[in-house]
Amino acid sequence: MARTHLLISTLLLAIAYSVCAQIKGQYQQAPQVQQTRHVYNDQELCSDCEIRNGVGYRSHPTDCNRYSQCFPIGPGQWRAVIRSCPAGLFWDQSKLTCNRARAVSCGQDRCLGQVLGRERYSDSCRGYWTCKDGHTDDLDWCGPFQSYNEDTDDCDDDRSCDDDDDEDETIHESVPCHLEEHETDDDKYYEYEWGQKRTRSCAPGTAFNWGSCGCGTIIDGHGAGCRPELYLPFDGDFQDKSGGNWVDNQGCYTRYVAGAVGGQAAYFNGNCKLIVPRFSGHDFGHRVVIRLRYKEDDDDVQTRLQALVSNSDCSKVPSIVVAYDDEFSGTKGILRTGSQGEYVTYNQQRRGEWKEVEFEYDGQKVVLRTNGQTDGMVASGNIRAVQAGLHIGDGSGLANFKGYIDELKVYLCKP
Ligand SMILES: [Ca+2]
């Protein structure tokens, strides 16, 4: 059977070669790169990583079934830990989870350019990946005391290949979360069992949480149980007093100013910004509440909207914006859901006084409240995920804020 596959794959590869000589040429370059084995440092393994619950994740530069888990140790500084997905799974950077190999598009896929064929599985002498249409399809195994032979593309008797356990070995203990969130139901999740996606249910009264990789008490309730996910009182520092999120301060400072809660507030000079990476790519779902106090610097008037809070950078379109309109003296709240929804709310206000702002979306309406004024509208859909951290005092398409911000709170539940 294997010989027949070999014959067919050789034949098809020959055809593919003549038709796609240009593409084939690209793949022939690959072994040259492999010859000089580059040792990746932590910063390379974590560059452009996606943050989830304060931890970064990034595809491995050479192995599709591995990824880096990145722990922030300072501004732009990371400690990288290489993780392996359970047998048969590839790292899916778009979902930040391990996923069936055939469902993941991996730039390092060794089946690229192979119509049919097999590739050695690096974590076991018995294992091999099967290729289909230039893409890794599944993981398969030779029999006990056999090993996969790359040269003959066959399973050879091999008494030294004694990893009978590998087939059963899932590397779950080294994976932060091998489970996947359910698209619609909070109390359900998916588990991969030998490449099969199975739906599981949490115990009554609990909900699935990817960060803790299991079912936990529901905190997305109402009132007393709802705590802010981010709370920045700005009293002498930029530390998050609620979720312990790391705040990347790029040039701002705190100041004593009249009217600030606790005496101090963050001062934004029109050039500085704060970034909270934890919210990068965060799935806000259908609920967010942002509260803050702010007071503009009244010594000059700008025509562009100034960013108070937004989730955008590098010209990405933000899905959450709270901004100050200096020209007409107002606060603007913008929310974008799904692929189409855009909801703009506006409150007029007096210059030179502290503004108490609450911007809320609950899946049914968007509401902006400023110093007793309310503007709202019916809305629907999940908040668009944006691969950017939460920016304070800065946002793409907006001017940097100039003035004071105090008591910033972000809730993912109804406070
Ligand atoms: Ca304060």
Q: Report how far ligand 1's centroid is from the alpha carbon of 355 (Å).
A: 14
Whole-angstrom CA distances from 90 to 41, 208, 263, 376 are: 22, 22, 51, 44
| CATH class as words, domain 223-411 | mainly beta
Residue 104, both tokens:
């993941």
Q: Please say if the pLDDT value at position 179 is more than 90.
A: no
Q: Report how far ligand 1's centroid is from the alpha carbon of 269 (Å).
A: 17
Alpha-carbon distance of 1 to 349, in angstroms, equals: 78
pLDDT for the residue 219: 42
Query: Other CB atoms closer than 10 Å to residue 314's CB: what's the count?
Result: 7
Q: Would you list the domain boundaries of the chain?
A: 2-32+39-173, 179-217, 223-411
Q: Which residue has the higher pLDDT, 278 or 25?
A: 278
Q: Report how far ligand 1's centroid is from the alpha carbon of 147 (Å).
A: 65
Q: Report how far ligand 1's centroid is from the alpha carbon of 394 (Å).
A: 20
Q: Report how far ligand 1's centroid is from the alpha carbon of 299 (Å).
A: 22
- Name the 3-class secondary structure at 219: coil
Residue 135, both tokens:
């893409």
Q: Please say if the pLDDT value at position 289 is more than 90.
A: yes
Q: Report how far ligand 1's centroid is from the alpha carbon of 350 (Å).
A: 21
Q: Report how far ligand 1's centroid is from the alpha carbon of 345 (Å).
A: 26
Do the beta carbons of residue 64 and residue 101 sit within 8 Å? yes
Alpha-carbon distance of 157 to 145, in angstroms, equals: 6
Residue type, 40: Y
* Upper half-sphere CA count for residue 232 (Cβ side, 13 Å): 31
Q: Report how far ligand 1's centroid is from the alpha carbon of 291 (Å).
A: 13
Pick from 327, 369, 326, 378: nearest CA to 346: 369
- Name the 3-class secondary structure at 394: coil
Summarize pLDDT for 320-364 with one digit per residue, the tens: 999 999 888 899 999 999 878 899 999 998 888 999 999 999 888
Alpha-carbon distance of 331 to 349, in angstroms, equals: 8
Q: Report how far ligand 1's centroid is from the alpha carbon of 280 (Å).
A: 25
Residue 263, both tokens:
């005496």
Task: Tally DSSP H helices, then E strands, for the chain.
Answer: 3, 32
Question: What is the mean predicted confidence (pLDDT) over 57-73?
Answer: 85
Cα maximum dimension of the chain: 83
Q: Report how far ligand 1's centroid is from the alpha carbon of 289 (Å).
A: 19
Alpha-carbon distance of 389 to 58, in angstroms, equals: 16
Asked which of 12-16, 57-61, 161-165 is least confident by mean pLDDT, the reply is 12-16
What is the DSSP secondary-structure string of 257-309?
-TT-TTSEEEEEESS-EEEEGGGTT---TT-EEEEEEEEE-TT---SS-EEEE
Pick from 234, 386, 400: nearest CA to 312: 386
pLDDT for the residue 192: 65
Residue 14, both tokens:
């020959």
Query: Other CB atoms closer than 10 Å to residue 209's CB: what's the count?
Result: 21
Q: Report how far ligand 1's centroid is from the alpha carbon of 265 (Å).
A: 5
Q: Report how far ligand 1's centroid is from the alpha carbon of 263 (Å).
A: 6
Q: Report how far ligand 1's centroid is from the alpha carbon of 271 (Å).
A: 21
Provide the terminal-to-terminal Cα distance of the chain, rounded to the nearest Å.
63
Residue type, 143: G
Q: Report how far ligand 1's centroid is from the alpha carbon of 404 (Å).
A: 10
Do the beta carbons of residue 162 and residue 182 sit within 8 Å? no
Most confident stretch, 5-14, 88-97, 252-261: 252-261
- Name the 3-class secondary structure at 27: helix
Q: Report how far ligand 1's centroid is from the alpha carbon of 243 (Å).
A: 17
